[in-house]
Structures are given as structure tokens and as C-alpha cells.
Amino acid sequence: MCGGLMGALTMAIPAQQRKGWPLWRILLGYNAGRIASYSLAGALVGSLGWLIQDLGLGILLRTLAGLLMIAMGLYLANWWSGLTRIEQLGRGLWRHIEPRARKLLPVKSPSQAIALGALWGWLPCGLVYSTLIWASSQGDAGVSAGLMLTFGLGTLPTLMATGLAAQTMLRWLRKRHVRISAALLVILFGLWTIPGPHQAWLMGHGSHEANQGLPAEATEHQHH
């Protein structure tokens, strides 16, 4: 969804600014505003972290986040579209934000791009929601904001590439094998996020492998 939106925003930039450094400045502005909003949202949900931890809801939220990521993967692959119902939860807020976003079009300056990107960051998105829920389970506003910042930076290369080669990238992103590959990666990460025996097995396996490289005395000391 964000790739398509970035392509649309790029094509809406006046033609004389849709090349070279002027284009780079506007695209960076879009993404700076978007990532700032993600970080702010992370700080807001993370500020409730102490309450979440006290109530013992951390595991529940991680499980919910993992399930949302799996739903996102199924949506990307066009195998199940139930995630769109979850995105409807944020549409009430977006109805108030969208008119302000429209007033910023067409974008002609980096400051306009940053403002529009900051509003774009509140667009209903299942993947953002799932990451926010996961971030909120960390129990710290600063950590949650940092996780959302990292999430935003992780999406930056793809969205910048989409903006710089909008028409070509949009055609590439629509290819079925690309969507399914991305979907499977999101589903796998969702499965990993859900707490369960599979995590304990992987952690135990990793610990066993690490011990293989230790002297016998050190391994024996660890067992004691």
C-alpha cells in the first residue's frame, strides 16, 4: 500500500521538480515526516508499557502482534483479506486528517513534503498496527519509539526506490512472485514473534552451538 501511495505522490509532483536533487529532497521529506510520526506513535503506546507489564499483558500483546503480521502476510499474497477490517479501526481518525493532507497537494517544497509525510504516518495500515502493538509490549516509551524509528528506516530504501522510479517500481511490486516472497517473510516473522515452544527450541539450540566452542571447564561451570 505504501509503495503505491509513494508512487502516486511522486507522480503528483510538478514535472519540473520530478528529477534530480529537487525530487530527492521531496522524497526524503515525505519519509522524514512519515518516520517521525511512527516514532511519535511508538512513544505514545510505549508510555503505557508500565501498565502493560504490570497487568501481565506483554505476552498477549506479542501474540496479537504476531497474529497481525501473519494476517498481513496473507493479505500481501491475496490469500486472505481480513486485515482490511482491522485497518477500518483507524479510518475514523484518518477522516479528520485526510482533508489537511489534501491541502498540501501538489507538493512543491521539502517543508510541504515533511508535513504531508507526517500526516501520511497516521494512515490506517495493518503492518504499522502490528508493529505498534509489538513495540508497546516492550514496556518503555523510549524503546518503543526507537523500534518504530527502526521500522520506518527499514522501509525507507524500498519507498525511496519506488519514488525515484515510480512507474517501474509499481509494475515490479505488482508481480505475484514478489508479493508472495514478501508475504512469506512477514508470515515467518509473525510466527517468530508469537511466544511459544518454537522460540525456546531455537534459543536452546543456539546456546548449545555456542557451548560447543567453549573449553570443557567453562561448559561444566555453566552447568553448575
pLDDT at 46 over 70: yes
Summarize the confidence of residues 56-80 as an average pLDDT.
Answer: 83
pLDDT in tens, 77-136: 889 888 777 777 777 788 889 899 989 988 889 999 999 999 999 988 877 887 888 888
Classify 139 in phi/psi space as left (phi over 0), alpha (psi -120 to 50) or beta: left
Q: What is the pLDDT, as a whole number, of residue 205? A: 53
Amino acid at 77: A
pLDDT in tens, 145-184: 999 999 999 988 888 877 777 556 666 666 788 888 888 9
- Asked if the bond preceding 99 is cis, omega within 30° of 0, the reply is no
Summarize the confidence of residues 13-19 as an average pLDDT.
Answer: 81
Rg from Cα positions in the chain: 21
Please tell me the least confidently modeled range out of 41-45, 51-55, 151-155, 199-203. Answer: 199-203
pLDDT at 216 over 70: no
pLDDT at 22 over 90: no
Dihedral sign, Cα of residue 92, residue 84, residue 160, residue 35 = positive
